[in-house]
């Protein structure tokens, strides 16, 4: 398939596919309902809202939304609604789980439940963010796949490898055959005083030997040389990524979260995000996220459901 280079192309790509079902846990908040309504109306998704039907009906009337596009399952209690939604996805009655007006810790607990949860054995739970940056579109005409910005506070070597593998898989599903992955630190020198540089060097060598497949990997790299060929030239750095990264793996949640919020709030980037490592994509958005971000996150979850 032709690579998807921005989030608008993602939506157009999904319109050609058979719609899959998104199941929303406690689906009675305004932005989530608006995002789900848009996804249903644009025929990229089927939507089941598990939540307080009275609140859903009221919001649909206030926002002049057609509630007939939804399957509505009435459950006022957020945990019970979350459990019902999780079980629907677990039992293949839905393809993608989405967080509605349920507390993040409760949502994550349902996903991580050892008996009934969605975490695949041997995997770690992580967070994938796809960023559509005006700057990067101007200079590179493509998306950035980044992690982890929201789940793993300080990933060790094995967690970083898993994060990288999830991001490579996501990039492949966007049609990028051989994504370039930068393992980020503060500079390009390996030093025992900065453990993240050692992890980055190990991951790079593993990729060189074929232990990590499907991508061109380099690290340790600072952010500037990961995304700017000019920065590489100025520093005299020869890198397989060469300032043209598709994937950024962060050394810690602080680095990732600051980057992610910086490019959105200051840089005007659009984004989509899901939790990975599970049997089905799980959309994890903040209550502060707007309708557009939630809509694009639905689209990302649906794209990651597809095998092609």
pLDDT tens column, 217-271: 999 999 999 999 999 999 999 999 999 999 999 999 999 999 999 999 999 999 9
Residue 243: what pLDDT? Answer: 97
Separation of alpha carbons 286 and 275, rounded Å: 13
Q: What is the pLDDT of residue 1?
A: 83
DSSP labels, 246-284: SEEE-SSHHHHHHHHHHHHHTT--EEEEEEESBSS-EE-
How many other C-beta atoms lie within 10 A of the C-beta of residue 113? 14
Q: Hey, where are the domains in the chain? A: 7-119+278-305, 126-265
pLDDT at 79 (0 to 100) = 95
- Distances from the Cα of 245 to the Cαs of 19, 255, 257, in angstroms? 31, 17, 18
- pLDDT for position 17: 84
The CA distances from residue 178 to 175, 181, 236, in Å, are 9, 9, 24
Residue 289, pLDDT score:
74
Distance CA 26, CA 172 (A): 32
At 101, list the tokens.
Answer: 């007006």
- Assigned CATH for 126-265: 3.40.718.10
Q: What is the Cα–Cα distance from 297 to 136, expressed in whole angstroms?
A: 20
pLDDT of residue 267: 95
Res 287: pLDDT: 64
Low-confidence ranges of the chain (pLDDT < 50): none
What confidence score (pLDDT) does residue 136 get?
97
Q: Which fold has domain 7-119+278-305?
A: Rossmann fold (3.40.50)
From the list 264, 261, 216, 268, the residue with the least C-alpha distance to 242 is 216
- Asked if 7-119+278-305 and 126-265 have one fold, the answer is no
Kindly give, in sequence order, each residue whose CB lies less than 8 Å from that of residue 177, ignoring residues fewer than 6 positions away: none
């Amino acid at each position: 398939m032709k690579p998807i280079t921005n989030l608008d192309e993602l939506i157009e790509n999904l319109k050609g596919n058979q719609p899959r079902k998104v199941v929303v846990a406690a689906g009675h908040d305004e932005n989530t309902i608006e995002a789900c309504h848009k996804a249903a109306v644009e025929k990229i998704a089927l939507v089941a809202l598990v939540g307080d039907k009275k609140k859903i009906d009221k919001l649909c009337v206030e926002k002049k939304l057609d509630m007939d596009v939804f399957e509505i399952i009435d459950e006022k209690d957020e945990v019970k609604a979350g459990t019902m939604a999780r079980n629907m996805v677990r039992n293949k009655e839905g393809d993608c789980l989405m967080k509605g007006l349920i507390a993040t810790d409760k949502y994550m607990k349902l996903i991580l439940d050892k008996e009934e949860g969605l975490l695949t054995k041997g995997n770690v739970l992580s967070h994938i963010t796809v960023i559509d940056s005006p700057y990067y579109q101007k200079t590179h005409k493509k998306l950035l796949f980044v992690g982890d910005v929201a789940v793993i506070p300080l990933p060790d070597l094995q967690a970083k490898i898993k994060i990288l593998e999830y991001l490579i898989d996501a990039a492949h599903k966007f049609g990028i055959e051989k994504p370039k992955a930068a393992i980020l630190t503060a500079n390009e020198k390996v030093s025992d005083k900065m453990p993240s540089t050692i992890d980055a060097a190990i991951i790079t060598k593993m990729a060189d030997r074929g232990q990590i497949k499907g991508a061109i990997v380099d690290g340790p790299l600072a952010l500037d040389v990961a995304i700017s060929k000019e920065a590489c030239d100025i520093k005299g750095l020869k890198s397989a990524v060469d300032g043209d990264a598709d994937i950024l793996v962060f050394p810690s949640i602080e680095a990732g979260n600051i980057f992610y919020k910086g490019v959105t709030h200051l840089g005007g980037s659009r984004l989509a995000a899901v939790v990975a490592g599970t049997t089905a994509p799980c959309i994890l958005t903040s209550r502060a996220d707007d309708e557009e971000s939630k809509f694009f996150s639905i689209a990302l979850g649906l794209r990651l459901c597809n095998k092609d």
